[in-house]
Amino acid sequence: MTAGWLGLAAAAAAAGASARWNWWRPRLPGIPVLMYHRVGTPPAASRLKKLWVAPADFKLQLQRLLALGYEPVAAERLGEPDSLPPKPAVVTFDDGTADNLEAAFPILTSLGVKATIFLVAGWMGRRNGWEDPADEPWQRTLSWDEARAMQAGGLVSFGSHTMTHPDLRALDEEALAWELSESKRRIESELGRRTGAFAYPYGAGAYDARVRSAVRAAGYLCDFGVKQGLAPDGWRPEAGPLKRLLVRRDDWMLDFELNISRGKARL
């Protein structure tokens, strides 16, 4: 029976889609904090290609966010939840590589979308030298002049991603305090504006009490890890580091929609 086979094929397809996408999960409350790294075409030798989101996809994702009524705000505003608009979202970039200016910034500007870039303050104007070039060919990092120019547009703000992008758990007290305080001081003196948002390199230390209390002691208002999920409404530091939604190069729009409405797209 043809109809029977078709029915079976449809059921198999539905089962496959249900295993791939979490459409069957209930919608969850919470604030989507999108985590991007690079926008553009990955170098052929890159082993981190999933972190390079195509500019056309980036634009479609932001357009979708706006169409759903979200209002993108600077990351550090999550540290002052009483001041947030009714339906906030946050667009973040880790590392501050030059593609953020060359590929992402024109799209942010054309759509009027706010975003926060977490800078590695000790590598500004050089390259992402903390990465092994065997995994990821080095990329140029933003210079302080470029960061100032982006900030002047009124949409882009900056947070700290440390001085040298270490695994913070491996550092002694003195080195830990320096990575946190010196990056904050440097960003504030170069950009002439206070910064209150911090993102842990590799997400490392976000759930380590010693590291996290050092982040608070350095004066940050809010801290971002890499665990997948939505940020709670009315976040307080005691709730733990803020979760984010990693956007991958091969994500479909359905992944994006499920991420922002359910905190995850895949099993």
**Which residue ranges make up the site for Zn ion (CB under 5 A)?**
94-95, 201
Distance of CA 37 to the CA centre of its chain: 7
Nearer to Zn ion, 25 or 249 (CB): 249
Rounded to a whole number of angstroms, the minimum distance from the CB of residue 202 to Zn ion is 7
Reduced to 3 states (helix: H, G, I; strand: E, B; else coil), residue 44 is: coil
Contact 221, 196 (CB under 8 A): yes
Nearer to Zn ion, 72 or 159 (CB): 159
As a whole number of angstroms, the distance between CA 135 and CA 137 comes to 7
Contact 191, 147 (CB under 8 A): yes
- Straight-line distance from the first to the last Cα atom of the chain, in angstroms, rounded to the nearest whole number: 34
Rounded to a whole number of angstroms, the minimum distance from the CB of residue 257 to Zn ion is 26
Reduced to 3 states (helix: H, G, I; strand: E, B; else coil), residue 267 is: coil
Neighbours of 128 (CB within 10 A): 21
Nearer to Zn ion, 94 or 99 (CB): 94
Name the token pair of 18: 């249900």
Rounded to a whole number of angstroms, the minimum distance from the CB of residue 10 to Zn ion is 43
Nearest to 122 by CA among 164, 159, 184, 93: 164
Distance of CA 202 to the CA centre of its chain: 12
Nearer to Zn ion, 167 or 233 (CB): 167
Name the token pair of 40: 């553009």
Rounded to a whole number of angstroms, the minimum distance from the CB of residue 172 to Zn ion is 21
Rounded to a whole number of angstroms, the minimum distance from the CB of residue 164 to Zn ion is 11
Nearer to Zn ion, 40 or 201 (CB): 201
Contact 151, 193 (CB under 8 A): yes
Closest residue to Zn ion, judged by C-beta, is: 94
Rounded to a whole number of angstroms, the minimum distance from the CB of residue 47 to Zn ion is 15
Rounded to a whole number of angstroms, the minimum distance from the CB of residue 117 to Zn ion is 11
Nearer to Zn ion, 95 or 223 (CB): 95
Nearer to Zn ion, 159 or 201 (CB): 201
Name the token pair of 36: 């991007």
Backbone angles phi, psi at 42, to 5 degrees: -70, 145
